Amino acid sequence: MEDMWSVAGVIFKLWMFMVVFFIMLPAMFGLSLGVTGVYNLILVKILEWATVRIQRGQQERLNAPVPLLTGIIERAESSMEEEMGELRRSRPFAAKEFVLSDVMYFYKKGVESIVDDQVTQRFSSEELVSWNLLTRTNQNFHYISLRLTIIWGLGVFVRYCILLPLRITLAIIGLSWLVIGTTLVGFLPESSAKNWLSELVHLTCYRICARGLSATIHYHNKENRPQKGGICVANHTTPIDVVILANDGCYAMVGQIHEGLLGVIQRSIVRSCPHVWFERSEMKDRHAVTSRLRDHIKAKTKLPILIFPEGTCVNNTSVMMFKKGSFEIGGTIYPVAIKYDPRFGDAFWNSSKYNMVSYLLRTMTSWAIVVNVWYLPPMSIQQARRVKYLAQGTAAFSGLKRGKVKDSFKEVQQKMYSSIIVQQNSFSLPETS
């Protein structure tokens, strides 16, 4: 028994040595040994091979699984005239005028729009055209060939038996160092040295946590990075967005005070850095929130505020309409766009389906986190309206859920239906001598 414990001790020491000297220390100084890049390159080649093998298997087997539809409703591609004509031909008599059953066509279209509209699709996981050897798509593609099954099995072993323990170890180290380091820095008197140490602790901790997710982050247009005294607004896909952005610079976080482990982290980091935390009752008071944020940005020496104006996580395919409160504070706005590569894993947090622990487990058992971050040109508060529309270039406007349908939209449908009735009546007129 003693021999087993000694062997386990040696293995643990060797494991911690590799984690600290080959991963944690390079991460703290923003260095990379190139292992992650090679890992991602090999992974891309494997995924490309798997895609080709799946396509070949689908051609060889008629009953092979097919890719999922992008929506939950299979919509007809035919026009109103074709569908209405088919509906009318199914009746025992040929109707040449309005019939009450015609409303079934519009009823069907209305239900489709409500159940599976563009806004609803933004809150479900993005489905891939090809399989990425993860189980999220649930397509059972690994049964197509023996080699694909072996690759899938090796992937499960690597993700759960090697990557997961490594990532949990790094996450524990990063969060522990964040709590301990910020607490110690919090005892120092207010000075430029304290601010420098606080930023150093935050930066190194977030970099360790990012390595714990095997994150590869590509920053573009770094000359537009948010500056002190400004407001950084970004699209929101996952709570990891904070870790991704904080790897390239420190931010003052804005949020509600929590209990438990998250509450411990909040109380520790606010001692060394002026984050803006609110009680639940304060969050409902819009004027109180705006006032505290204005006081923060007036001090040009404080870190830029990080805000996600969408107010919720969206599935990495679009941007929802920004809430206007973020643009009423004043100061300079620094827009940031974040886009995750879905081939390596699903970064979207569906909070209605998964709690935080389940989500983090899914994230830590994915292949990696590969993300691109674009720093857009800063804008003054007078140009804030432009920022909202810039981020909404491909957005689905959530306000349409509660808005009234425009009369012009209804008139278009009415004219199309009327033309069908008139056309059928013209065909049924008797010939005159």
Residues 247 and 379 reside in one and the same domain? yes
Query: Is residue 82 a part of any domain in this protein?
Result: no
Residues 46 and 176 reside in one and the same domain? no
pLDDT for 220: 93
Residues 152 and 62 reside in one and the same domain? no
Query: Is residue 413 a part of any domain in this protein?
Result: no
pLDDT above 80 (res 141): no
Residues 182 and 280 reside in one and the same domain? yes
pLDDT above 50 (res 289): yes
Residues 43 and 182 reside in one and the same domain? no
Lowest mean pLDDT among 231-235, 238-242, 346-350: 346-350
How confident is the model over 49-69, as a mean pLDDT? 65
Place of tokens 């072993």: 157
Query: Is residue 47 a part of any domain in this protein?
Result: yes
pLDDT for 68: 47
pLDDT for 30: 75
Residues 268 and 367 reside in one and the same domain? yes
Give me 256's structure tokens.
Answer: 């509600």
Query: Is residue 345 a part of any domain in this protein?
Result: yes
pLDDT above 90 (res 38): no
Query: Is residue 98 a part of any domain in this protein?
Result: no
Question: What's 303's DSSP letter?
Answer: P
**Domain C-terminal end among 12, 42, 68:** 68
The predicted-structure confidence for 325-368, as pLDDT tens digits, reads as follows 667 777 788 999 999 988 888 888 887 788 888 888 888 988 98
How many independent structural domains does the chain possess?
Answer: 2
Question: What's 53's DSSP letter?
Answer: H
Query: Is residue 170 a part of any domain in this protein?
Result: yes
Cα-to-chain-centroid distance, residue 417 = 41
Residues 184 and 274 reside in one and the same domain? yes
Query: Is residue 114 a part of any domain in this protein?
Result: no
Residues 6+ apart with CB under 8 A from 328: 290
Residues 222 and 352 reside in one and the same domain? yes
- Show the domain range for 287: 145-401
**Domain C-terminal end among 16, 51, 68:** 68
Question: What's 236's DSSP letter?
Answer: -
pLDDT for 338: 92
Query: Is residue 331 a part of any domain in this protein?
Result: yes
Strands of 85-154 (E only): list them: none
The predicted-structure confidence for 166-200, as pLDDT tens digits, reads as follows 899 888 888 888 889 888 888 888 888 888 888 88
Residues 252 and 420: their CA atoms lie apart, in Å, by 60
Lowest mean pLDDT among 109-118, 204-213, 240-249: 109-118
pLDDT band at 98 (very low <50, low <70, confident <90, very high): low
| Predicted model pTM | 0.72
Residues 188 and 428: their CA atoms lie apart, in Å, by 91
The predicted-structure confidence for 297-320, as pLDDT tens digits, reads as follows 877 778 888 988 887 888 887 777
Residues 151 and 61 reside in one and the same domain? no
